[in-house]
Amino acid sequence: MYVKNIKQYKCDLRLQIRGTRKAIPYDAKAFMDSEIKRRFFQTDEYRDAEIIFTYVSKPNEIDTLSIIREMLKSARRVAVPKCIPEICKMDFYEINSLNQLKSGCYGVLEPDPKACRKVPGRPASCVCLVPGLSFDTHGYRLGYGKGYYDRFLSDFGGSTIGLCYCSCMREELPRGHFDRPVNIIITEKYVKRINCSL
């Protein structure tokens, strides 16, 4: 996809999609979040994962707090990110309870390093739920512009899953040389597997 001013285009698109998400009624959002969660739990990638890396959602995002709560109840290993704003990178910490989270960068709940353990390296079998304002049909994402996940995913060896509302999906998004598509996109209506070798 060619765009003359990619920075401005992404900025405009972020505003547009934020507006789309904000306009979703509360009951409809709760239903769609529930359908996305159900579809995620039915994937082989979730079933087979040794540990699940996931972002902690804010109120206007697809609800991952409910996903985390259910995974912990099922005794699954769960890791969530702590941002290092000085270098725009993040470390993941394994949590056993939502009580181990506290308010961190950008108003996002983050793990308390004093209460949980940093995940060393990348386990052999792992899944990462990747946040995004939008995804396209090729698996590429429109992030929030800080680059945290772009850096993290550059050497992530596990399966990557993007969660997205159908209304926020796009046919094609602009992409950079270092952008990597997710392996799977899950919406409230379908699960799409991406052929990342193309």
Q: pTM score, two decimals?
A: 0.92
Where do the structural domains in the chain lie, given as residue ranges?
Answer: 6-193
Q: Residue 89: pLDDT above 50?
A: yes
Backbone phi and psi for residue 134, each to the nearest 5 degrees, phi listed first: -150, 155
Q: Would you place residue 5 in the very low, low, confident or very high pLDDT band (cuts 50, 70, 90)? A: confident
- Residue range 37-59: average pLDDT? 96
Question: Greater confidence, 41 or 153?
Answer: 41
Cβ–Cβ < 8 Å for 173, 140 = yes
Question: Greater confidence, 33 or 107?
Answer: 33
Which region, left, alpha or beta, applies to residue 139 given φ > 0 means left and ψ of -120 to 50 means alpha?
Answer: left
The amino acid occupying position 4 is K
Three-state secondary structure readout of 79-112: EEEEEECCCCEEEEEEECCHHHEEECHHHCEEEC
| pLDDT of the residue at 1 | 54
| pLDDT of the residue at 198 | 42
Q: Give the strand pairing for 159-163 and 126-130.
A: parallel
Is 6-193 assigned to CATH 3.40.50.300? no
